[in-house]
Structure 1
Amino acid sequence: MRSGRDVYANLLRDTRGLRREQSRAREGWYAQLDWERKEETLFELEMLLKGFACFGNPRNHPGKPTQEPPVAHDFGAELRIVRDALEQSIDRIRQLLGERDRAFVFSRYLETVLPEDSLRSRLIREQLSQDTPEESLFVLRNTFSSFLEMAEGLLRLGRVSHRLYFSLLGMITREVGRNTYFNPLVALEFRGEFDRIRHADVLEALHDVHEAGHRVVSVTFLALFRALRYVELVDQYAADPATAQRAYVILSVFRSDLRALCRYVGRRACHVMADSFEKRLLDVPAHEIGPRFEDLGHEAARLVSLRATLENLANVLRVEVRRTFERDVPSPAQAGAGEDLGPQLVVATASLRATIHHAITTLCAEIRPRASVPELASAEVARRRASERLRRDIWMFLQVLRAFLAKAEATQGDADRWASYASFQFVREFLDHFRAIGYQLVRTSDYDRLDRFLGALEALRDVDLLRPERLRAAVAECRDFFRYLDDLFVQVSKRAELQHSPFDKRAAAETLRIYLGAA
Structure 2
Amino acid sequence: MTSDSNPPTRGQGQGGAHNAYVELLRDSRGLRREQREARDAWFSKLAEKQKDEILFELEILLKGLACFANPRNHPGSGRRQTIVSHDFREQLAHAKDGMLRVVQLARMMLGERDRAFVFQRYLETVLPEDNSRTRLVYATMAQESPEAALFLLRQAFTNLIETGTAMLRLPRVSYRVFYAHLSITMREITQSAFFNPLSALEFRPEFDRIGSSAVLELMQNVTGEHPHRLVALTFLSLYRMLRYLRLLDAIALDHTDRRVAGRAYLVLAVLRSDGRALSNYLRRRAGELLAEGFGRELGRVGASDIGARHDALVAEGQRLSAIKDALLTVSASLRVELRRIFEHELPPADAKLTEQDLRARIQGATALLRPAIELCVLFLGRALGATLEEGRVFEDVGVRRGTIARVRQNVWMFAQITRAFASKLRHADPTSDRWAVPESFGFVRDFLGYFRAMGYPLVVLGDYPRARSLVASLAALRDADLLDPTRLDVAAGECEAFYDFSIQLFERMSQRELAGVPFDRPAAARSLKLYLGD
TM-score scaled to structure 2, two decimals?
0.86
Structure 1 residues 117-146: Cα deviation after superposition (integer angstroms, max 9, x where no partner): 222222222233334333322221111111
Q: Name the counterpart of 1:250.
A: 267
Q: Is the 8 A contact 1:220 1:261 kept in 2?
A: yes
Q: Counterparts in 2 of 1:68-467, with a 5 A limit?
A: 68-211=81-224, 212-241=226-255, 242-245=258-261, 246-284=263-301, 288-370=305-387, 372=389, 374-376=391-393, 381-412=398-429, 414=431, 416-417=433-434, 422-445=439-462, 447=464, 449-465=466-482, 467=484
Displacement of 1:148 = 1.0
3-state SS of 1:188 partner: coil
In 2, Cα distance between equivalents of 1:28 and 1:344: 40
TM-score of the superposed pair, with normalisation by structure 1: 0.88
Cross-structure match for 1:511: 527
Contact 2:61-2:266 at 8 Å conserved across structures: yes
Does the CA contact (< 8 Å) of 1:265 and 1:310 recur in 2? yes
Cα displacement (A) at 1:102: 3.0
**Which letter does structure 2 place at the counterpart of 1:223?**
S
Paired letter, 2:527: T
Counterpart CA distance in 2 for 1:380 and 1:98 is 34
- Matches of 2:167 and 2:481, distance apart in 1: 64
Residue identity in the other structure for 1:51: G
1:75 touches 1:165 (CA, 8 Å); kept in 2? yes
Q: What is the SS of the residue equivalent to 1:183?
A: coil
For 1:100 and 1:371, the matched residues in 2 are separated by 46
The 1:108–1:271 alpha-carbon spacing in structure 2 relative to 1, beyond 3 Å, is same
Match of 1:473 in 2: 490
Contact 2:419 2:495 in 1 (8 A): no
Q: For residues 443 and 271 of structure 2, what CA distance do their matches in structure 1 show?
A: 34
Q: 2:77 aligns with which of 64, 85, 90?
A: 64
Instruction: Check conservation: 1:39, 1:193, Cα contact below 8 A.
Output: yes
Cα offset, 1:189, TM superposition:
0.8
Deviation of the 1:232 alpha carbon: 1.7
User: Is this contact kept in 1: 2:248–2:362, CA < 8 A?
Assistant: yes
SS at match of 1:334: coil
**Change in 2 beyond 3 A, CA 1:408/1:114:** same
Alpha-carbon contact 2:374-2:403 (below 8 Å) kept? no
Across the aligned residues of Structure 1 and Structure 2, the Cα RMSD in angstroms comes to 3.2
**Cα distance in 2, alignment partners of residues 239 and 396 from structure 1:** 32
Residues 70 and 337 from structure 1, CA distance in 2 versus in 1: closer, same or farther, beyond 3 angstroms? Answer: same
- 8 Å CA contact 1:147–1:172 kept in 2: the answer is yes
The structure richer in helix per residue is 1
Tell me how far 1:336 sits from its aligned partner.
2.5
Task: Output the CA distance in 1 between the equivalents of 2:323 and 2:50.
Answer: 37
The whole-number CA distance in structure 1 between the counterparts of 2:468 and 2:381 is 24
Looking at structure 1, the residues matched to 373 and 428 of structure 2 have their Cα atoms a distance apart, in angstroms, of 40
Secondary structure at the counterpart of residue 104 of structure 1: helix
Q: Distance in 1 between matches of 2:53 and 2:81?
A: 38
- Contact 1:365 1:373 (C-alpha < 8 Å) held by counterparts: no
Q: 1:422 to 1:283 in 2, by over 3 A?
A: same
* One-letter amino acid of the structure 2 residue matched with residue 214 of structure 1: H
The count of corresponding residues between Structure 1 and Structure 2 is 517
Q: Kindly state the Cα deviation for residue 448 of structure 1 after the two structures are TM-superposed.
A: 5.0
CA positional deviation for 1:89: 0.5
- Note closer, same or farther for the CA distance 1:95–1:348 as it changes in structure 2 (3 Å cut): same
* Structure 2 runs not aligned, ≥5 long: 1-12
Rounded to whole Å, the distance in 1 between the matches of 2:533 and 2:321 is 27
The answer to whether the Cα contact below 8 Å between 2:214 and 2:393 also exists between their aligned partners in 1 is: no
CA shift digits 1:325-347 (9 cap, x unpaired):
33433223225232332233222
- Give the conservation status (yes or no) of the 8 Å contact 1:365–1:371: yes
Offset from partner CA, 1:255-313 (integer Å, 9 cap, x none): 11111111122222222222223333434555554444333333322222222222222
Kept in 2: contact 1:384–1:498 (CA 8 A): no
Report the Cα distance in structure 2 between the residues aligned to 1:136 and 1:382, rounded to whole angstroms: 39
2:473–2:487: 8 Å Cα contact kept in structure 1? Answer: yes
Change (3 A) 1:281 1:423: same
* Greater Cα offset, 464-473 or 161-170: 464-473
Secondary structure of the equivalent of 1:118?
Answer: helix
* Native 8 Å contact 2:212 2:392 kept in 1: no
8 Å CA contact 1:136–1:179 kept in 2: the answer is yes
